[in-house]
Amino acid sequence: MTVCPPARVRRALCLLLGIGLLTAVVWRVGSTAFLQALGELPLGVLPLAVAIGAVPPVCYAWRWRRILELAHQPIPMVEALRVTVAATTANYLVPAFGWAPAKIVLARRWLQMGVTKTVPSVVLEQLIDLTVLAVLAGSGLLLIGKRPIPLRAETFAVSAALVLVVVLFLGVLGSVARKGGLPGMRRALVVSWLFVTTMLGDPLVWGATAGRWSAELLLLGLLAALSGLQIGWAGSIVLLAVPALAGALVPIPGGIGVREASGVAIAAWLGIDPAAAGAILIWHRAVTLLGLAGVGVISAVAGGTRQ
């Protein structure tokens, strides 16, 4: 009989794996070059960088609030901020996608919100972000001239046709499910239908999503420019999207080590200084965490004032 290790042990092992991977990255690019690259950033710009780093969690909370509003479950913005900050922080304590159950639990505990409302909303959020990251990664690679697969007119035509068929298929099944048909598939279909209609139909969700990733891209570009790494917007897009996508899909808390390792690998493939790329990604993580902490303090104070 096989005994599975406790959840805490598994989480600790995953975290140690990520830290070990990060240490291996530093060793591979050279600790001297890496530390020198870390020191290239002028510290006087940190307040501006942290201010930009505070934008993503605000947009993230705003988008979740809007999704819940579309599901006829409105909540105050300050509560959306509190839950979002807490769930994002929990993501560093649990494996990938761990923020989702944390968000569900916190919404139930703090907002008395049932899982029938929160589960579709967090699934929808993850689908949106994974789609955006995939599109950004592909677009950045095309702009920079590195094409992972041959792209011809026929490829675009077939892809467009497949997307159209999927959208129409989900639309028909979603309509049937909403009218009471297909009861066994209704829950999964409603989530899929919400994804399609929200992505295509609501400008506020689009705006919050664009705001979140635009701020992330602006911050990464600013850090790269201040560190003397001239990679252009296409390089910034690739350096943002590919590591973020890798970190989101690998079961390591916060994607620690995975994002940096994949960023160094993609930088070397693109001909970018890997030590500088790794340093920028660590600065990016640190600044966004400081921004998240600032938003958390403000939301906690605002929430206490409301009570």
Q: What are the pLDDT digits (tens) for 6-19?
A: 656 655 666 566 66
Closest among 146, 277, 139, 268 to 220, alpha carbons compared: 277
Residue 2: predicted pLDDT? 44
Closest among 209, 289, 304, 225 to 255, alpha carbons compared: 289
Q: CB within 8 A of 186, min separation 6: which ones? A: 177
In a domain, 71, yes or no: yes
Please report, for residues 60, 86, 138, 247, 281, the alpha-carbon distance to residue 270 in angstroms, rounded to integers and kept in the order given.
Answer: 30, 36, 14, 19, 16
In a domain, 93, yes or no: yes
Residue 1: predicted pLDDT? 40
Q: In the chain, what percentage of residues exceed pLDDT 90? A: 21
Check if the beta carbon of residue 122 is closer than 8 Å to that of residue 223.
no
Question: Domain containing 97: what range?
Answer: 43-118+133-147+203-306
List, for residues 67-122, the tens digit of each pLDDT value: 888 888 889 999 999 999 999 888 777 655 567 788 888 898 998 888 877 888 88
Please report, for residues 50, 113, 127, 191, 292, the alpha-carbon distance to residue 105 in angstroms, rounded to integers and kept in the order given.
Answer: 29, 9, 20, 19, 20
In a domain, 185, yes or no: no
The number of distinct structural domains making up the chain is 1
Mean pLDDT estimate for the chain: 78
In a domain, 163, yes or no: no
Whether 164 shows a pLDDT value over 60: the answer reads no
Distance of CA 83 to the CA centre of its chain: 16
**R_g over Cα of the chain:** 21
In a domain, 21, yes or no: no
In a domain, 190, yes or no: no
Whether 20 shows a pLDDT value over 90: the answer reads no
Dist. CA 11–CA 66, nearest whole Å: 32
pTM: 0.78
DSSP at 41 = S
In a domain, 187, yes or no: no
Better-scored residue on pLDDT, 292 or 43: 292
In a domain, 108, yes or no: yes
